């Protein structure tokens, strides 16, 4: 039996539960790729699994739980039903499946339909920062809200990105402005995060802890057509829907868990959609769509239209993983943190 080194946990809790472990190299399902992992990106999903928030840590049903759902690496083996899309030696990037072990390991098995070809112009670390954030934005805004992938003629529509300096926000500002041709307003509460938003392409930056409508009005903006809310929707739901123009759409990437009054949205035909990036993999719903999105994003990265959200790179160690988890849990991280090389 082939063994590999991994960073995992045998109990749920704080960062103290993280440790180095030895595990068998995963066996492949027929649609899987066996990937030699080169870099791993950090996301809030990692800390939620580590602490078993909402029971998500139990989805793996493994004695040793391994986090990490942003990966980049090289294909070593392909399953019998993969077909010709991938071959050994191909470089790939992917976000994976919460019900399976993550990629904080020397090797990971990932469904080939969820993977994309790694951007040739980016390093493994730069590539590992992309998948989950890019998929969240693409599925939530282009699929869920119906934003065209090409700029429209005439006056550009506007989108508000709440939490513009985070990993998802960083990709959202770029995709919405550079791919879809929208004018992007971002929210940020600190000087350094506001500067990051402007660097990514935000035309206007406002503070979500202050009156957002007044700040938009001061910038000559009466309303926005779309909202991507990366924050807790229980906090700003009514304030954000009040900013939407008639027929506007808001996408939430976290669940609404408190009662909200939807009646004021009726006459303005406001739509609220939800984006759960792991829905396709967990529910087995058109997983190949994620592979197609990542291939398109890879092309946009190679063309220079988009750039990696990588901001911080750490070594692949238990101590660094704990540091990255702690930073993610502050809610103040800018861009993405990646551990590499694996």
Q: Tell me, what's the pLDDT at 152?
A: 79
User: What's the average model confidence in pLDDT over 13-18?
Assistant: 98
The band of 304, judged by pLDDT with boundaries at 50, 70 and 90, is very high
Query: Could you give the number of structural domains in the chain?
Result: 2
Report the pLDDT value the prediction gives residue 50, as an integer from 0 to 100: 98
Query: Do 68 and 142 fall within a single domain?
Result: no
Last residue in a domain, options 274, 307, 329? 274
316-342 tens-digit pLDDT:
999 999 999 999 999 999 999 999 999
Same domain, 140 and 270: yes
Residue 177 sits in which domain range?
Answer: 134-274
Asked whether residue 114 falls in the same domain as residue 202, the answer is: no
Same domain, yes or no, for 14 and 39? Answer: yes
* pLDDT at 296 > cutoff 90: yes
| pLDDT the model gives residue 39 | 98
Q: Which of 274, 299, 320 is the last residue of a domain?
A: 274
From the list 145, 190, 197, the residue with the least C-alpha distance to 167 is 197
Does residue 95 share a domain with residue 172? no
Rounded Cα gap, residues 161 and 172, in angstroms: 7
Instruction: Examine the domain organization and report whether 262 and 283 are in the same domain.
Output: no
pTM greater than 0.85 (yes/no): yes
Q: How high does pLDDT run on average in the chain? A: 97
Least confident window among 153-162, 243-252, 305-314: 153-162
**Predicted local confidence at residue 87, as pLDDT:** 98
Query: pLDDT tens for residues 52-100?
Result: 999 999 999 999 999 999 999 999 999 999 999 999 999 999 999 999 9
């Amino acid at each position: 039996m082939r063994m590999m080194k991994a960073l995992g946990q045998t109990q749920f809790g704080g960062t103290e539960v993280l440790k180095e472990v030895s595990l068998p190299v995963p066996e492949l399902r027929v649609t899987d790729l066996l990937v030699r992992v080169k870099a791993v990106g950090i996301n809030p999903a990692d800390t939620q699994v580590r602490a078993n928030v909402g029971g998500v840590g139990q989805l793996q049903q493994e004695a040793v739980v391994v986090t990490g759902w942003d990966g980049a690496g090289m294909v070593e083996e392909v399953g019998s039903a993969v077909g010709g899309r991938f071959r050994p030696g191909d470089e790939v990037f992917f976000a994976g499946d919460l019900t399976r072990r993550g990629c904080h390991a020397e090797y990971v098995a990932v469904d080939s339909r969820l993977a994309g070809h790694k951007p040739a112009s980016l390093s493994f670390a730069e590539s590992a920062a992309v998948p989950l954030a890019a998929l969240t934005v693409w599925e939530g805004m282009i699929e869920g809200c119906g934003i065209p992938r090409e700029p429209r003629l005439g006056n550009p529509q506007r989108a508000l990105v709440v939490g513009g300096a985070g990993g998802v926000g960083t990709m959202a500002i770029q995709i919405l402005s550079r791919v879809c041709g929208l004018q992007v307003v971002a929210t940020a509460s600190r000087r350094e995060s506001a500067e990051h938003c402007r660097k990514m392409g935000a035309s206007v930056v406002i503070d979500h802890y202050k009156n957002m409508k007044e700040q938009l009005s001061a910038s000559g903006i009466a309303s926005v057509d779309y909202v991507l809310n990366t924050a807790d929707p229980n906090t700003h739901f009514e304030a954000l829907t009040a900013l939407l123009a008639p027929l506007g759409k808001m996408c939430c990437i976290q669940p609404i868990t408190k009662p909200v009054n939807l009646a004021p949205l009726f006459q303005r035909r406001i739509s609220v959609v939800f984006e759960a990036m792991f829905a396709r993999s967990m529910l087995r719903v058109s997983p190949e769509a994620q592979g197609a999105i990542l291939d398109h994003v890879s092309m946009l990265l190679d063309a220079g239209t988009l750039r990696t959200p990588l901001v911080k790179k750490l070594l692949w160690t238990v101590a660094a993983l704990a540091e990255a988890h702690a930073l993610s849990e502050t809610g103040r991280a800018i861009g993405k943190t990646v551990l590499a090389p694996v």
